[in-house]
Chains A and B, each alone.
Chain A
């Protein structure tokens, strides 16, 4: 099966294969990947959710991969896409946090700073044809209210009260928007947990690269709290329970 005979023959970029060329030093295609990340703003702050799966193509390779990463005291970074690039980014952010610490000037890295940093980083790398193949969700609490931003692999960035990456953008985003939009200051923690749980359940049903265990991160004035892995009950009785199992009945 030749997938590339139609369309752009220069994509995906192929490694140069003659003996005189240098080895490739950039991620060409995402290899080990994470699926969707969901995030919403609610009354007390923001909440993120991501399943704990890192897939290797169609193989569910790493079922305990933590895709929600704490940065400093008030920010959580969620990532979907290539895991190696995510690990590179978290390493960079670690270095950044340490540098801020030993500079010791009373300033700390806040969510908008992390957001801006990642936005510049990804855009710069994309311009050099060496992209970070990730979709990042930056969630945090700053200045008395929640902060929620998205940074993509092209350097696109925006802020919104609901964010969903990957297949979640098609499946979960409509639900998040319906429940959250307009009610960011009144939606309670229980409702927020419920809507994220519902969406993770639906994603487990309809996303072919998902898992029934997910992590949740809550960022409020009190700080960061990453909980999980929580289990999701999948309902596979569709059709059978209903008595409609099988075709041509």
Chain B
């Protein structure tokens, strides 16, 4: 029997709309997406870009992951911080990352930030904001260091500094206060760390550690858990029970394996 694969039709696909409406009327709720509740921040400094993120992933009021990684790889010279629904940011960046690799093989050139930006914003616009990914793309290409922010509905901004996520106001306040043009590398790292720190301690959706990525011309430094202001205090005592705490009343040992010497013919009937 031969089945013919149908060519996917272009444009928006509303096939499931009727089904969703009738399901909702029956009382079946669509599961609520898990958001990251995040502070992400990035700046351009003298020689490159510096990206930062907190490491808390929340599922409502519960911390789902105490140390997740929110800075995603897009290209050897481009990284992307993601806020919003964790799955959306993860899969969107992975998809565009592989598309960029194929693009690199076709063009034979280093990926440009504007390519990554265009691919991301066109995809997010296509999904009309239902893909809840708010991204900050930073990298160093032929045009120098660059920073773009991409909103879930597909709008883009080309900016010298940016913050996103629930802790973005706290982090933005730090940037508005202390950002200047042409910061040195360590000053830039300190500024981004302070911004994420403000988010971690003033926003309930953000917490744990600070991840930093520094991208310069032909050089990327990844500082996973650059700053850990929330380390768990070491346990004061050893809480293991001593042997003999539970008294042994009776001991009975049985052999499970029976070992026999010799050769047995294999049954090939």
Q: Judging by beta carbons under 8 Å apart, are A247 and B157 in contact?
A: yes
Beyond contacts A170-B202, A174-B199, A242-B160: 16 other A-B pairs, Cβ-Cβ < 8 A, are: A170-B169, A172-B173, A174-B173, A174-B198, A174-B201, A175-B174, A201-B176, A202-B177, A206-B169, A206-B173, A238-B159, A238-B160, A244-B158, A244-B159, A244-B160, A249-B158
In the complex, what distance in Å separates the CA atom of A201 from the CA atom of B173?
10
Q: Judging by beta carbons under 8 Å apart, are A247 and B158 in contact?
A: yes
In the complex, what distance in Å separates the CA atom of A167 from the CA atom of B169?
9
In this complex, the interface size class of chain B, counting residues with CB under 8 Å from chain A, is: 10 to 19
B138 to chain A, nearest CB (A): 13
Chain B residue at minimum C-beta to C-beta distance from A202: B176
25 intermolecular pairs with C-beta atoms under 8 Å apart: A170-B169, A170-B170, A170-B202, A171-B169, A171-B172, A173-B170, A174-B170, A174-B199, A174-B202, A175-B174, A175-B177, A177-B201, A178-B198, A202-B176, A205-B176, A206-B172, A206-B176, A239-B158, A241-B181, A242-B160, A244-B159, A244-B160, A247-B158, A248-B114, A249-B158
In the complex, what distance in Å separates the CA atom of A249 from the CA atom of B160?
14
List chain A positions with a Cβ less than 8 A from chain B. 167, 170-175, 177-178, 198-199, 201-202, 205-206, 238-239, 241-242, 244, 246-249
Chain B stretch 198-213: residues in CB contact (< 8 A) with chain A? 198-199, 201-202
List chain B positions with a Cβ less than 8 A from chain A. 44, 114, 156-160, 169-170, 172-174, 176-177, 181, 198-199, 201-202
A209 to chain B, nearest CB (A): 14
Chain A residue at minimum C-beta to C-beta distance from B114: A248
B157 to chain A, nearest CB (A): 7
* Secondary structure class of chain B's binding surface, majority of residues: helix
In the complex, what distance in Å separates the CA atom of A188 from the CA atom of B172?
26
In the complex, what distance in Å separates the CA atom of A246 from the CA atom of B159?
9
Q: Judging by beta carbons under 8 Å apart, are A247 and B198 in contact?
A: no
Q: Judging by beta carbons under 8 Å apart, are A242 and B177 in contact?
A: no
Chain A residue at minimum C-beta to C-beta distance from B200: A174
Per a CB cutoff under 8 Å, which of A172, A173, A246 touches B158?
A246
In the complex, what distance in Å separates the CA atom of A167 from the CA atom of B160?
24
Tell me which residues across on chain A come within 8 A of B160, comparing CB atoms.
Answer: 238-239, 242, 244
Tell me which residues across on chain A come within 8 A of B156, comparing CB atoms.
Answer: 247-248
* Secondary structure class of chain A's binding surface, majority of residues: helix
In the complex, what distance in Å separates the CA atom of A249 from the CA atom of B202?
35
In the complex, what distance in Å separates the CA atom of A198 from the CA atom of B202?
18
Choose among B160, B169, B173, B199 the residue with the greatest number of A CB atoms under 10 Å from its CB.
B173
In the complex, what distance in Å separates the CA atom of A96 from the CA atom of B181?
54
In the complex, what distance in Å separates the CA atom of A227 from the CA atom of B145?
45
Chain B residue at minimum C-beta to C-beta distance from A238: B160
In the complex, what distance in Å separates the CA atom of A247 from the CA atom of B201?
33
Q: Judging by beta carbons under 8 Å apart, are A177 and B159 in contact?
A: no
In the complex, what distance in Å separates the CA atom of A175 from the CA atom of B172?
10
Chain B residue at minimum C-beta to C-beta distance from A177: B202
Chain A residue at minimum C-beta to C-beta distance from B198: A174
Tell me which residues across on chain B come within 8 A of A249, comparing CB atoms.
Answer: 114, 158
Tell me which residues across on chain A come within 8 A of B202, comparing CB atoms.
Answer: 170, 173-174, 177
